[in-house]
Structure 1
Amino acid sequence: MRIKKSLSKIVNFDDKESRYIYRIVENSIRNRQAFGIEIERQDFEEGEVVNLERDIVDIVASNQRKAEDILMLLFNNLVSPIHLVDIVGEYADLCVNDFGF
């Protein structure tokens, strides 16, 4: 797995600061290029990490441009790792069919 693109955003809620990191990762599936998406959220209190959440969907697109479009949708809407599968699940299901699973 290789990181192809990474975006991050810092958000403040009450006394807590959260850093969201969105990544496109490249995989090789059945000798074909596949792209997945990972979201990580780091919660900080007084400058120290107090919570870390991360989730990944290994295959969401068979081309990088489509993966970038999905990544921007997630980034612009501040999707958390908890909801990653809910949002990209359908894209992933369609893409997996391209690989013959």
Structure 2
Amino acid sequence: MIRPFAALGLASLCLAAPALASSDDAWAEFAAKVETKCLAAAADMLEKPVIAVDPFGTASYGVAILSGKPRGAEGSVSYLCVMDKKTETAEIGSELGADTLTVNIPAK
């Protein structure tokens, strides 16, 4: 009777292994990819943008906030960026002015 439980326990451990395989290096690589994709997607919108990346994102998306001076205008604006984890395509949301959202992202 113990053997079926042992086999079930071993199978459970094998299924959990992929979740344990996410290392700090893999998450850092993921965050760097989100940063690169989001900065590229916002290149025409912001001059010298700063970005804050959620280090893990959601189950389906990498998430970041970009902030800075809008191209050809004064002031400060922010954008939300999402990157689809499967396709690695980044999309930028609509402009959020300082009256809607104030973001202070420390320089790296």
Normalising by the smaller structure, the TM-score range is 0.3 to 0.5
The TM-score with structure 2 as length reference comes to 0.39
Structure index of larger Rg = 2
The TM-score with structure 1 as length reference comes to 0.41
Bigger relative contact order (CA 8 A; separation at least 6): 1
The structure richer in strand per residue is 1
